[in-house]
Amino acid sequence: MTTPLSFVHRFEPATDPTRKPLLLLHGTGGDENDLIPLGRMVAPGAALISPRGQVLEGGMPRFFRRLAEGVFDEDDVRRRADDLAAFIAEARGAYGLEAPVALGFSNGANIAAALLYRHPGVLAGAALIRAMVPLSTDKPASQPATPVLIVSGTMDPIIPAANAATLAASLAAAGASVQHETLPTGHGLVQSDVTLTRDWLDRI
C-alpha cells in the first residue's frame, strides 16, 4: 500500500473511516515500523502513516540533527520540519487523507512540536510523548483550539521538567488546547502513555 514519496515510510489504510489518520514519528534509532503497534493500540482502525527520519546519528535514524544530548541544531530542526510538512501534503494527496494527528515519541515528538511551531494547520492535533521545546528562540504560530497532549516523566534524565512545562505553556499561549500530563517514570514508553493517548484520541 506504500507509494514512493519524499520520505521512506509505511502506510496502513483505515478500517474505521470515522477516525482521524495518525502520523507516527519514531524516536532516535527507530524507523517506519517502530510505532505501528502503538498506533494500532491507541487508535484501532485509523489510517497510519509512518515516515522514517532522514538524519543518521551513529547509524540511527532521527528527524533532525543535534549537537549534544538535549541540544538541537535549530537551523536543521527548521529545515527538517519544513521537509516533513511537505511530506505530509504529499501523503495526504497520495492516500486521500485528511490532516493527521501526530503521535510522536522523543525525537519524533520534538519534530512534531516543531511542526506545530512552524506549520499551523498541517496537523489536526499532536500527542507528544517525552517532548521538549524544539526551537528556543521561536514562538509557535497561532493555532486556535488545536488539541495537544504532552506526556512527560518525572524521572526523565533527558528532559528537565521546566522545559516540558515551557513547551506546554508556549503552545497554550498560541491558542492550542493543551493537556499536559506527568507520569512517575523515565524517558521510555510505559503502559500509562498508551492509556492516556488512547483516551485523549477518543475525546478529540
Residues classed as catalytic: 106, 156, 187
Cα 102 from chain centre:
5
What are the angstrom distances between the C-alpha of 195 and each of 12, 154, 183, 200? 22, 18, 12, 8
What 8-state DSSP symbol labels residue 35? T
Distance CA 44, CA 54 (A): 28
Do the Cβ atoms of 193 and 149 come closer than 8 Å? no
Q: Is 177 helix (H, G, I), strand (E, B) or coil?
A: strand
Residues 6+ apart with CB under 8 A from 110: 63, 64, 72, 77, 104, 128, 131, 132, 134
